[in-house]
Amino acid sequence: MGEQVGLSFDLLVNALIAGILLGGFYTAVTIGVSISFGILDIVNIAHPAFIILGSYIAYIVNARLGLDPIATSVVMLPAFYVLGAGIYQVYYESFERRGQEALRGLSFFFGLLFVTEVMLILVFGVDYRYVEAPYIGPSWRIGVVDLPLRMLVPCIAALAMFAALELYLSYTFIGRAISAVAQDQLALRLMGASPIRIKRIAFGISIATAAVAGALLIIIQPVEPSVGREYIGRVFAICVLGGLGSLPGTVIGAMLLGIIESFTATFYGPSWAPAVAFGVLLLTLAFRPAGLLGR
């Protein structure tokens, strides 16, 4: 009897740790949407497609040059920033300025999501791709707890990215202006900052995070072009659960969803995991639409 209780306790602790590590990675996936949807009010449902794009770039560089995926993603940051700023410019000119962001803006991002996915399928096919790095494979063992480095490294990288963004938003002029753009655009203009320019910068940053998230994704699991779709539900569930516009809320939401998914996978089987995020999203929308740390 004692043996069995010990075993299930081990299982419980390991499921919890696995959930926290997974949650750390979900932070990286969600933080871009937390900026675009939470702060800028731009419903960028194409974000997961850009994450997959980041994964494929990490894969190509890793396969051709043997470079570390995380290092690659840091090098790619400026390119993704420029891509994001460009997309915002089109979005602003075509939809936001004309007040048509609801129907056509959403369809625009849906189209981008779709085009990116189909292009990746046309170029790379639907085979699963993966990267090689020294930390994929080994794992640390502390007591009964198993810490696979494949999960630990992305978790740490994601939390580092969160810390950097949080510091940037709290302590720099542009960072504070980004937070202000959600609250009062007129006041921002009076302070001598153009809301459009600030939003362009913020959207660029949000897409730039997709480069890092993509590299972390392909470290955690093999990637094929349509994997991104599974993340749409997760990303928005986390965003809403944590509270729109709150980066610390995003971390908490990500950790919670990671833990819930890990427990579901451990006790019910992994084929149910995709439904969990949606359940969380619907429950949050029904009972506490402002989220845990919402404004």
Binding site for another protein (CB under 8 A): 37, 43, 45, 90, 94-95, 98, 100, 102-104, 106-108, 110-112, 114-115, 118-119, 121-122, 226, 229-230, 232-233, 236-237, 240, 271-272, 274-275, 277-279, 281-282, 285-286, 289
60 vs 232 by CB, closer to another protein: 232
SS3 category, 142: strand
222 vs 279 by CB, closer to another protein: 279
With CA atoms as reference, report the closest residue to 150 among 220, 240, 79.
Answer: 220
69 vs 249 by CB, closer to another protein: 249
At its nearest, how many Å lie between another protein and the CB of residue 154? 23
222 vs 274 by CB, closer to another protein: 274
Q: How many CB atoms lie within 10 A of CB 53?
A: 24
79 vs 118 by CB, closer to another protein: 118
Rounded Cα gap, residues 77 and 210, in angstroms: 9
At its nearest, how many Å lie between another protein and the CB of residue 41? 8
At its nearest, how many Å lie between another protein and the CB of residue 170? 26
With CA atoms as reference, report the closest residue to 258 among 280, 240, 243.
Answer: 280
At its nearest, how many Å lie between another protein and the CB of residue 110? 6
Name 46's Cβ contacts closer than 8 Å, sequence gap at least 6. 109, 110, 112, 113, 116
User: What ranges in 173-227 are assigned the alpha helix state H?
Assistant: 173-183, 185-190, 195-220
Instruction: Return the structure tokens found at 93.
Output: 């000119």
